[in-house]
């Protein structure tokens, strides 16, 4: 009886050591992804926060991170486009502001189209084109901001988020290409 218990105890110990070792490796993969990607972005702190909260980081799945960052960029681009539309429906006394908001509407339509195109490219793993389109979406958002002396606070915040996540998509895709 003692002989049959010994191999089982040995097997259990081995499995536990293996699990503990793998847990350490998974944590190192997370650190590697974070340390490789985040310092290259325009907002490293946001990047670290987003990636740390993502369960795919623990699996070291950078492709899923790209997909999630792309989805967040698209959602924020759509929200910004909708905000600009609602601002244009309000009475605007300054014709320069109205013109700039109209330009921003075009900018965010273009940014949204570029990010939407990335979805198909993601399925074909065309990371080079994804990085180019994400960079274009980032520039569209910046172009909107640059047209204002002082942009509306709501627009400024959403625009910043679009830029940060478009940049994150760019960085990840650029690293994958």
Tell me the mean pLDDT per 10 residues along the chain, length 177: 45 40 38 79 88 68 86 96 96 93 97 96 96 98 90 90 95 91
How far apart CA 62 and CA 78 sit, in angstroms, is 24
Whole-number pLDDT of residue 152 = 86
Measure CA 80 to chain center. Answer: 16
Which tokens go with 51?
């990636």
Is the separation of the CB atoms in 115 and 74 below 8 Å? Answer: yes
Whole-number pLDDT of residue 23 = 39
> What is the pTM assigned to this prediction?
0.78
Whole-number pLDDT of residue 46 = 85
Three-state secondary-structure class, residue 98? helix
Whole-number pLDDT of residue 13 = 42
For the domain made up of 2-176, the CATH class stated in words is mainly alpha
Whole-number pLDDT of residue 33 = 72
Cβ atoms within 10 Å, residue 167? 23
């Amino acid at each position: 009886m003692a002989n049959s218990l010994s191999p089982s105890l040995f097997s259990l110990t081995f499995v536990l050591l293996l699990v503990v070792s793998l847990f350490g490796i998974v944590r190192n993969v997370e650190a590697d992804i974070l340390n490789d990607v985040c310092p290259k972005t325009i907002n490293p702190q946001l990047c670290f926060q987003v990636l740390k909260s993502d369960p795919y980081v623990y699996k070291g799945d950078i492709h899923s991170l790209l997909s999630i960052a792309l989805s967040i960029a698209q959602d924020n681009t759509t929200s910004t486009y909708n905000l600009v539309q609602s601002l244009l429906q309000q009475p605007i006394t300054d014709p320069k502001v109205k013109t700039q908001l109209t330009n921003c509407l075009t900018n965010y339509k273009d940014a949204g189209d570029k990010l939407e195109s990335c979805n198909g490219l993601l399925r074909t793993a065309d990371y080079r084109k994804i990085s180019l389109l994400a960079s274009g979406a980032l520039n569209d958002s910046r172009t909107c901001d640059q047209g204002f002396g002082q942009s509306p606070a709501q627009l400024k915040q959403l625009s910043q988020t679009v830029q940060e996540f478009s940049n994150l998509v760019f960085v990840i895709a650029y690293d994958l290409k």
